[in-house]
Structure formats: structure tokens, C-alpha cells
Chains A and B, each alone.
Chain A
Amino acid sequence: MNTMKLSLSTRRYARALLCLFCPLWLGGIAPVMAEGSRVIATGGASMIEGSAGGGIVPWAVINGYGSSDEWSATAMATGVYVDDFTLKVMGASLSYDNRFELSLARQTFDLDTLGGELGQDIVGFKYKLAGELLYTAMPQITLGAQYKKVDDFSLPQAVGARDDWGLDIYVAASKVFFDTVAGRNLLLNATVRVTKANQTGLLGFGTEASNDYHFMLEASAALLLTDNLALGIEYRQKPNELGFAREDYWQDIFLAWFINRHLSVVTAYADLGSIAGFDHQQGWYLSLEGTL
């Protein structure tokens, strides 16, 4: 890790940190962005790629509490601390009409044991196609895209990645079932993603041998213990294309606390499997989100 790279990443971090306050600034200039009308917890949290969802899976929900003709903005900071790696994410998003969502995420992946770091920027877009999370028999169905670009391609290229950027496209379906388990509401989500990303893109996209997209299945289930406390599990399939090391499916168990309409905290225990030759990467996930 040379000094130049370090200072570059520090600058990026500072920028991302500044962006944490973007929504506050937006709130100042946009009186239309009053408190959103939707029911608490219906925006989910911000997952590691910046999109509204759980921790590792994007859901069909649109971030924040904006309903029809209303705006919403979020800012989040997330850390995932597993045995040999640390993933830090700063993100922000803007949504309108409970239909469109634009998100930005800046990921830094510290190779704690190996030394050095990887990083990528992600621009996400979501569009609600049909259904309503709470009110219709049809689940809320959303089309999403995530454009990803890694900072420095040298390590991903050295381990066999083809490109330093990629596009993930997914369709997600989410539905809340009222009064399901012990009178509690249950959220179920299923997401189908097409991707070329190795370790979500941190190790580049595609391989020297293959440039194919892969269909991946992701799922979440969460029980709303109270109106603002959700206990859930998530599961995310991932491609396993790089020859140098195995890539495993990811899973986690999370507890999300929607303190009020402006602040939420998600804690999780995550099992990320084998990463870059280090097996059994397990550890803690912590995410804070602010919403306008």
C-alpha cells in the first residue's frame, strides 16, 4: 500500500463521510421533503451495496418513508467485521413517489491479515414495477440495477478477474404478511440477480476464461417482533468463478431496530464463508441509518 493510494482512499472516505450529511442539506432546500407517510420499518434498511434491503440482500422496498409524491433521503454507515477482513460502507440514497430509488455506496474492504485494501463505488437504481408491500395480495415487485467499479484493478486482475467494472441487475419481490407467527407480521423477500461480480465486485468482474452472467438467488425472512423491531435471516448465492480461491454463499441473522422514522440500527451475525483463501469468515455486522 503506497502513500499515494492511502491518501486517495482517505480523500474518498472524507467525501463519502461528507455525503452522510447530504440529506440534511437537501432537507434544507426541499420543504416538500416533509416526514414520509409510510408505516415505520417499511423502507427496510440499507444493505451493503446501498440499496434498500436487509444487510446483504436488496429488497423490493423503496428506501425511507416517502409515499406517493413524497421524497425521502437516507444516509448510512455500515461495518462488517469478520475474522480476516473488514468491510466498511458509506452510502446515501434518494427516493421519490415510493417508486424510484437512487443510491450511492462507497465500499472499503480491509485485508486485515494479508495487508492492504480493496474498494469499489456502487451506483444503484430501483424502480417499483407492481404491488404494494402491505396492501395488495401481489407482492411488491421491483427492478434494480447496481453499477460497480473497483478502485484499483491490480489485485483483482492478478487473481484472474476480467473487468474492473460490472453491472448487476435484479428483480426483487417483497411482501409483509400480517398476523402470521404469534400475531406478528412476517416479511418475506426473494431476489433474483444476474451478475458477473467476484465477491460482490471487490475482486472484479468475470474471469479470463468466462465473461458470462450468472443467475443468483437471494432471500430474506424477517419477523416484526414489535412495530419497530425485526428479527430476520438472509441468504445470498454468489458465483464461484475465480480459480485462485473458493467463493461461498453468504448468510446472516439480523436484528433491526427502527428507533423512529429518522434513525435505525441493524446488527447481524454474518457468515461469509471462504474469502480469498481464508475459510469460515464469520463476524459482526453493524449498520446505522438516518432518514429524512
Chain B
Amino acid sequence: MSCLRKFLPFATVRLITVLSISTALLAGCAQSDPNTPVSSANASPTTLYQALGGDSGVSDIVDGLLARIARDPRIVHHFDETDIAIFRERLIEHLCAVTDGGCAYQGENMADSHKGLNITQADFDVLVGHLIESMKEQHISTSTRNALLKRLAPMYSEVTYQ
């Protein structure tokens, strides 16, 4: 699918869904890119998870995000007590669950996991900014980025000022 997107940089996810029905056309193309996420061979709807690049795509986005957090003195202190490896796995799993990737999120709920951390609006804004930049780095399209932000934005009230 990422191969298809090279030819259709402005195509929306929905348009790609329609196009991916013609799997015969896609097959040869998809094989040329080892990072292509599992294609919907049975013409089922493309998930946001797939649009983000599936397992490897979401991992890369999370790694880019973590690298940005590590370099940002405004928020890095919030992770002083955090086991980054576990946090990384939980975040990937969470994003997978939120984007219909078929994962079951095993972690605490958002409000509990942020209790006592005193995450401010500024912290949240910084994190959103880093997430956007990390997605851009992975060449995630504007519409896919917006679709993910749409699903994550409502968590603001469960994450901040807990």
C-alpha cells in the first residue's frame, strides 16, 4: 500500500480502501516493498493501523516520539521513573488498539497511569507536537495523521491534571 501511495500522494485513506479492492493490481507492487503492511486481500476496510504502516510503522513512530521526548528538557523529567522499554511496548500496544490494529491494550487506563504525574496542558501540547513531527518523519500522510490525532485528542482530559 505504501507503494501505491507513492503514486497517489494526495489520496485519502478512503480512496486507497476503494483502490485496494483491486488486489490483483496491487499484488506485484506490494511485493517490491518488504515494509508494506499486510494488505487486505479480502477487500476488508483498511484500518488506521495499516495506514500508519502496521507493526513496523507504529514502532518507528513511537521510537521517533521517544527520541524527541528524550531530547526535550520541558517534558523528559516526567519519564525519570519510567522503564522506557515497558513504556514503549505499552504505547505501541495502545496505539495498535486505538487504531483498530487488533491488539488488546493490557495497561492501566489513561487516568490511572497518569495519576500524580501532574501532566500540564503545556506537557500535552509538547507531546502532540512531537507525535506530529515523528509521523511526518515516517512520511505519514496529513489525513492519516489527522485521523490518529482525532482518536487521541479526547484522552486530554484523562491524561492532564490527574
Contact = CB atoms under 8 A, between A and B. Distances in A.
Interface stretch (A52-60, A63-71, A101-109, A159-167): A63-71
A135 B74 contact: no
Interface in B125-145: 125-126, 128-129, 132, 141-144
B153 interface: yes
A185 interface: yes
B142 A226 contact: yes
A124 to B, nearest CB: 23
Interface stretch (A11-19, A21-29, A176-184, A207-215): A176-184
B150 A68 contact: no
Given A68-B120, A69-B122, A70-B122, A137 B154 contact: yes
A132 interface: yes
Interface residues on B, range: 20 to 34
A68 to B, nearest CB: 4
A61 B128 CA distance: 18
B143 A182 contact: yes
B146 to A, nearest CB: 4
A136 B120 CA distance: 15
A163 to B, nearest CB: 40
A39 B131 CA distance: 11
A70 B126 CA distance: 12
B149 A182 contact: no
A98 B122 CA distance: 9
B146 A37 contact: no
Contact of B146 (A68, A69, A98, A179): A179
Contacts of B147: 178-179, 183
Interface in B84-129: 120-126, 128-129
A89 B21 CA distance: 55
A226 B143 CA distance: 9
Interface in B49-101: 74
B156 A69 contact: no
A37 B124 CA distance: 9
B156 A136 contact: yes
Contacts of B129: 37-39
Contacts of B150: 178-179
B131 to A, nearest CB: 10
Q: Give the interface centre of A98, A178, A226, A227 by most chain B CB atoms within 10 Å.
A: A178
Contact of A183 (B122, B132, B143): B143
A98 B121 contact: yes
B157 interface: yes
B144 A183 contact: yes
- Shortest beta-carbon contacts, A-B, top 9: A183-B143, A135-B156, A178-B150, A67-B122, A68-B121, A179-B146, A37-B125, A67-B125, A37-B122
Interface of B: 12-13, 74, 120-126, 128-129, 132, 141-144, 146-147, 149-150, 153-154, 156-157
6 contacts: A68-B121, A134-B128, A134-B149, A136-B154, A183-B13, A183-B146
Given A68-B122, A183-B141, 13 more contacts: A37-B123, A37-B126, A68-B120, A98-B121, A134-B153, A137-B154, A178-B150, A182-B143, A183-B12, A183-B143, A183-B146, A184-B142, A184-B146
